[in-house]
Structure 1
Amino acid sequence: MYATTPGTRDVPTQPAPRLSARDRHVWVLFTDWCAATDQPQIPATPQQLARFLRENPAAPATQRRRVSVINTVHRGQGHPAPGTDEAIRRALNTTRAARLHRVSALVAERLPNIPVTGWPAGFFGRRDRLILALAAAGVGFEPIARLRRRDLTVPGNRGAPLLLCIDGARLDLPESREIPLGALYREWTEVLGFLDQNDVTTTIAEHFKAGRDLTGFDAGYRADDRPLLTSINRWGHTPLDPAPPTARAVAAIVHAHLSGTAPAHILPPPKPRPRPAKSPDRYPIDDGRVLDPHYYERGTAARRSAHHELTDVTDLLDDIEDRADQLSAELDGILNDVP
């Protein structure tokens, strides 16, 4: 079904969802503005919505309601909600904008000092740099922890905003020179692409230790349902079953970097192994000892003599055993005769 508005292109639309009289007034205002500016009402882009808000000034509460109504209509017709764009959210919430501006300034200051090479510092650094960039872009700690690989994509053209999908809502995360979110995302997908091909972290540890480049490994990265981020223990190893960090862990990572208390992630040097006691090359010899030249003959004769003398030992032991049995029988008879 096509709805044609004078002065606009023919665009496929669906009936708008049921709205209250107050919200219907907002939607009519938006559609009239779209018709006047020769733009489609469905789907609207974030830039188009930002222009609508700029050209129709109102109190912040009124503007937020307008964005909410426009988002509702878009979602009802299966389109991304244009009002979820971070720039629009900041424009409607000055307190949020001021807070994220401070966070972004700190993140931009910290990023150059976070390593992307070396083991395991580079492994931690690439993950933490992406977490910091997402937090500076306005993504909450809980959504960051729940991110799946398929939730974040980078358009082909450089400088375009990253597309983030959270709970079915699409967010546009714009690039900036101070926080190059796309580049930071690629740094981490290079790590994940390498792990997809090699499975165990010992292989990437050797790669980092050797100072090799990871460029190009993001080509093997698979945007599937696995967690985007991963937990890392102090030795640089990840769980065998992919396990993302918790929201509390994400918050701790962000706070540690912003406060300048993040660990260096330097492994302690291996403990030296104790050296085995060195055996002497020469053993001392008692030069004063004189051996009898006939000791062998004497020893052989002594063993032969003992063999002959002990030949009757078995018979003697058998005789003793027989006498013991006899005495035992006699004793039993005596005891049985006692009245």
Structure 2
Amino acid sequence: MATKAREARDWELFVDWCASMGTNALPTTAEVIADFLTEFPAPMEAQGRRVRAIRKAHENEGVPLALPTDRRASVLREGPEWASVPRALAQLPTYGHPKVLEAVIRGRRDGWLIVLVGILGLSRNEARLLEQTDVELFPRLAIKGHPVPRTDPASECLACAVTRWLHVAGAASFGFRNELLDVISPIGIDPAAHDCDIGLDGVWRQANTLLPWVDRHGWVSADPMSSRSVSATLAHRQALGPVAEIRAYVAPTGGRYEHATMNELADAYDDVDTKVAAMLLHLNEILDESAEVLDHLKEFDL
């Protein structure tokens, strides 16, 4: 993956710099890393990636690296003016019709992010660069060795927040719109049911990244979100708002669209929108003509 290649280059840069300075690259110290980062200034995202590459090299060799590990940084807000983790999860849109695909994909991704940072205590970089091998499904759901419990109600369930995202992560990564629309469809959904009870396929393991950007059309990127966007997203999701409502839609019986797919329903919605717009335009024309007739009648004092 591109991220691994960048980390390899970052490690090689650090090794070359240490050799030129006559110091050891492995093991190293926090002071040496600080000097290295000062010598090669870069955006915070790149600097974080460099530190991660150095840490991973030490872990691979079984060599301890004494660096600060404050996993619960000030990324998550606390206080009465901010939504708690359960409330933030309950506020997220997780189901909806095709018109709100982008909002639902973002909602599911952000629920995943909230669990990673707010419950598991991962740093922004750890969340951004999480890999499929870090996620364990059996015998229990765990991420980087940290168990993710099932909690009630379903709208606030930590395990559900994880599986809701994994159910769409692969399809979103490959642009499988039909599969996405089927998963997020509210038809037949029981709001009290737990998503974590539904089995996962293996498509999510092939996703380019588990924390992608999502554009305004619901398409996802091949690269992870930036650290800055992670912070901004968490702040946005912790703003107090109404709890998301999942209507218990019932699948229609009979009629023209009884067996329609979500894409076919979306096309039908577009057709209705077009017809309504044409009707409104025609109505405006009639009103304009009526106004002209009234003006003429006024001229004759009728």
- Identify the TM-score tier after normalising by the shorter chain: 0.3 to 0.5
Give the structure, 1 or 2, with the largest relative contact order (CA under 8 Å, sep 6 or more): 2
